[in-house]
Structure 1
Amino acid sequence: MRQSRSIPSSLPPITASIHSLVQLERSSSTPLYRQISQGLREAILTGTLAEGTRLPTERALAQELAVNRTTIMNAYNELASEGLIEGHVGRGTLVKRTYFHAHDDEYMNDEMPSWLFGLASGEEVLPDPDARLLSDLSELGGQREIISLAQATPSSTMLPAELIHTLMNDDLLADRQSALGYCPVEGSLPLRHHIAAQMRQRGVSVDVQNILILSGSTQGIGLIGRFLLQPGDEVVVEVPTYLGAIQTFRALGARVIGVPTDHEGMRVDLLESILARRQPRLIYTLPTFQNPTGTVLSPERRRRLLLLSKRYQIPILEDDPYSELYFGSERPQPLKALDKHGHVLYLSTFSKILAPGLRVAWLAAPEPVIERLSLHKQVFDLNTNALGQWIVNKLYEHDLLSTHLSHVRQNYQQKLLLMLQTIERSWPTGYRISIPAGGMHLWCRLPGEMRARTLLREAAQEQVVFIIGEPFHVDGGGHQYLRLSFASPTEEQLVTGIERIGKAMHRLQSRRSASTEQSHSDRLPLV
């Protein structure tokens, strides 16, 4: 059962009318909800609205300020996300405790930035121990002399710069308003129509009202997390799984529970006991070309997963960034195509198949979910990049996407084969790899007792980096695994990078062998 924080038994009355705290300028370019939240925020941080003060209901304040009730809801949501107010059933919306007040002289000085006020009132989120490592790898990958097999991004040669250049030359002037102006919070209507049509071709029964355009997949994970989870709630994920999802769920205060995977994806046979015993609020899965393993959840396990979701009434978030990057004759069907009861929330992105800089992703879900998430999204992100949406929409309109994807698949499949051939000839024996049928990644288990973190330090001396397996695990495992991404580097970089890793592996094995021999000789009896 969820517990609320303790609150004062007596509620201070509002000492000033909202009209005196919030001065609306209806001709201003600043949205009304933001003007309201700014006025209330200042009143809270200066102590004008004391801790425990009950704010007017959304309906009452909307009437008082002559605005729409949704405007008040968005203002309150923004303040709640900053930890300044909190809703309580039966008590209304209350001002929460803040750690900085105007009369706290030791904090109020000219050097203290005003945006720091109130930050300490939020829940403490401990930093991910591997966050610094991942940041360092990203920074290293940007150096020309370093070969990065860590970046899960399209190759520069696969970025459709020429197509985009042509579209802009031909169509931008005529479409300047839709390309460069604001668009609806839900996203560009023509683009949503194209995405819905594409998903129907893949067996998913959706229409435009079931599609929400997002500023990247991570925003979708965060929005759904805020919508479904409260601090302390539990989320089930695969082990290993996408590290960005782990970080997002933990940042929201959720407890992340892992289910092992094998060559057929999530061990759904182990999932049921978790659902019955722990009652999590969400199941997160990448059933197609899973990150980092590249596995595809088998048809039987997909059906079983949906049955468990229905039985225990737990929604599934299907994250599907890679299914268009298939190397066989047919692309895999989404898990959502089998969903007849609306339990699957489907998330995908154009970052992996077009360009991450476009910042365009989408969510397919039941209409009530889309409506609620649109309101949440409006608080944090008024609308997704209009130019990026326009570009994607034009690629659909001119039927350019399928040809581009065919070229990308061929390129990545060739790179994967080259990586496998280079590993076979340059690495020491004893490694194990999971060969994917699509996606961007190769998941490797190192030989013997070799640890990925040790190998990374050694490989960095050879000016090549990759991602170790530990951040993908929520159970403390992954020490002997690494993920190699084959999409981003050139073929020359890929071969050289794999050879350098092999050189580092041979060096580590030689040291270990020498150390073992020395240890053995130290134990020999003296004659």
Structure 2
Amino acid sequence: MSLERRREIATFCLKKDILIVEDSTYSGLYFKSPPPPSLYSINHGLGVLRMGTFSKTIATGLRLGWMQGEESAIEAMCKTRADMGNAPFIQSAVAEFIRSGEFENHVRQMRLLYGNQCSALSDSLEEYCGDYLKFERSGGGFFLWPMAVEGDSMPLTRAAAEEGLIFPDGSLFYQDSSMHNNNVRMAFSGNSAEKLAEVGPRLKAAFERVLD
């Protein structure tokens, strides 16, 4: 989302007293240029609850998150449940990891790792599936969202599974699935660059089976 659009939303919601819940799960995992300022920072914390998770930046199985907001909002949530069921030891360990400065070093390493993996998948798709797919190279996060030039994505996901590729139909992630029945979501975060380089030729074979 552009900075101009963020400012419009932040200003409108502040005037109308609408609470914004801002998901910043992937905001730190950019590859080159950082994203525009958060809605939380634009509104100086007023009327915004900003939240994220350490499961994307530290470890997948680490079910521990964080939240920023006005003091009154945080206090109200803490009265409901202070730890959300997480072990205090885990929370203390992560807090110390952040205080030590090693967390920022770790995130920088993750940006390089995921950036290389994103490039490997993007290069492979462009080389082998350029006639079948349209997509933009991701600037961060874990996923690419390719769109099939023709055909429905459901038969494609089944044919891809036969080629050893498992990824979900992109329509599952939209409220109106009928408008996005040619999208797929492909994760590059869980495989090496060498493995991701194999995706293009395998997916090309799946396309040929579906379309021919």
Query: SS state of the match for residue 482, structure 1?
Result: coil
Shift of 1:333: 2.5
Query: SS state of the match for residue 357, structure 1?
Result: coil
Aligned mates of 1:359, 1:509 — CA distance in 2: 41
Aligned mates of 2:62, 2:88 — CA distance in 1: 9
- Give CA deviations for 1:427-474 in whole Å, capped at 9, x if unaligned: 1514210222111111111012x1111111111111211121111111
Query: SS state of the match for residue 318, structure 1?
Result: strand
* Residue 464 (structure 1) aligned to one of 165, 184, 189: 165
Partner of 2:62: 358
Partner of 1:346: 50
- Computing the radius of gyration over CA atoms, which structure comes out larger, 1 or 2? 1
- Pick closer, same or farther for the CA change 1:499–1:386 going to 2, 3 Å: farther
* Residue 321 (structure 1) aligned to one of 3, 16, 25: 25
Aligned mates of 2:4, 2:59 — CA distance in 1: 34
- Give CA deviations for 1:240-270 in whole Å, capped at 9, x if unaligned: xxxxxxxxxxxxxxxxxxxxxxxxxxxxxxx
Aligned mates of 2:107, 2:197 — CA distance in 1: 24
- Pick closer, same or farther for the CA change 1:490–1:389 going to 2, 3 Å: same
Q: Quick one: which amino acid aligns to residue 347 of structure 1?
A: M
Q: Is the Cα–Cα contact under 8 Å of residues 128 and 200 in structure 2 kept in the other structure?
A: yes
- Pick closer, same or farther for the CA change 1:428–1:332 going to 2, 3 Å: closer
- Pick closer, same or farther for the CA change 1:303–1:497 going to 2, 3 Å: same
Aligned mates of 2:45, 2:119 — CA distance in 1: 40
Query: SS state of the match for residue 21, structure 2?
Result: strand
Shift of 1:423: 0.6
Aligned mates of 2:35, 2:10 — CA distance in 1: 20
Partner of 1:308: 12
Shift of 1:355: 0.7
- Pick closer, same or farther for the CA change 1:331–1:322 going to 2, 3 Å: same
Partner of 2:206: 504
- Pick closer, same or farther for the CA change 1:440–1:313 going to 2, 3 Å: same
* Residue 79 (structure 2) aligned to one of 375, 384, 390: 375
* Residue 387 (structure 1) aligned to one of 72, 83, 89: 89
Q: Is the Cα–Cα contact under 8 Å of residues 123 and 197 in structure 2 kept in the other structure?
A: no
> What's the C-alpha RMSD, in Å, of the aligned pairs?
1.9
Q: Quick one: which amino acid aligns to residue 470 of structure 1?
A: S
Structure 1 unaligned segments of length 5 or more: list them: 1-296, 511-527
Partner of 1:473: 174
Give % identity. Answer: 27
Shift of 1:335: 1.8
- Give CA deviations for 1:163-208 in whole Å, capped at 9, x if unaligned: xxxxxxxxxxxxxxxxxxxxxxxxxxxxxxxxxxxxxxxxxxxxxx
- Pick closer, same or farther for the CA change 1:354–1:361 going to 2, 3 Å: same
Alignment of 1:219-258 (within 5 A): none
Alignment of 1:132-281 (within 5 A): none
Q: Is the Cα–Cα contact under 8 Å of residues 472 and 478 in structure 1 kept in the other structure?
A: no
- Pick closer, same or farther for the CA change 1:509–1:383 going to 2, 3 Å: closer
* Residue 439 (structure 1) aligned to one of 141, 160, 163: 141
Shift of 1:336: 0.7
Q: Quick one: which amino acid aligns to residue 48 of structure 2?
A: V
Partner of 2:121: 419
Partner of 1:108: none
Q: Quick one: which amino acid aligns to residue 487 of structure 1?
A: S
Q: Is the Cα–Cα contact under 8 Å of residues 459 and 504 in structure 1 kept in the other structure?
A: yes
Q: Quick one: which amino acid aligns to residue 102 of structure 2?
A: L
- Give CA deviations for 1:278-334 in whole Å, capped at 9, x if unaligned: xxxxxxxxxxxxxxxxxxx10110110012212332211100111111111545422
Query: SS state of the match for residue 61, structure 2?
Result: helix
- Pick closer, same or farther for the CA change 1:330–1:311 going to 2, 3 Å: closer
Q: Is the Cα–Cα contact under 8 Å of residues 21 and 50 in structure 2 kept in the other structure?
A: yes
- Pick closer, same or farther for the CA change 1:388–1:497 going to 2, 3 Å: farther
Aligned mates of 2:21, 2:92 — CA distance in 1: 27
TM-score (norm. length: structure 1) = 0.38
Aligned mates of 2:62, 2:76 — CA distance in 1: 25
Q: Is the Cα–Cα contact under 8 Å of residues 359 and 385 in structure 1 kept in the other structure?
A: no
- Pick closer, same or farther for the CA change 1:331–1:340 going to 2, 3 Å: closer
- Pick closer, same or farther for the CA change 1:299–1:418 going to 2, 3 Å: same
For these two proteins, the number of residue pairs brought into alignment is: 211
Aligned mates of 2:84, 2:129 — CA distance in 1: 50
Partner of 1:453: 154
Q: Is the Cα–Cα contact under 8 Å of residues 469 and 480 in structure 1 kept in the other structure?
A: yes
Q: Is the Cα–Cα contact under 8 Å of residues 345 and 364 in structure 1 kept in the other structure?
A: yes
Query: SS state of the match for residue 347, structure 1?
Result: strand
Aligned mates of 2:50, 2:113 — CA distance in 1: 27
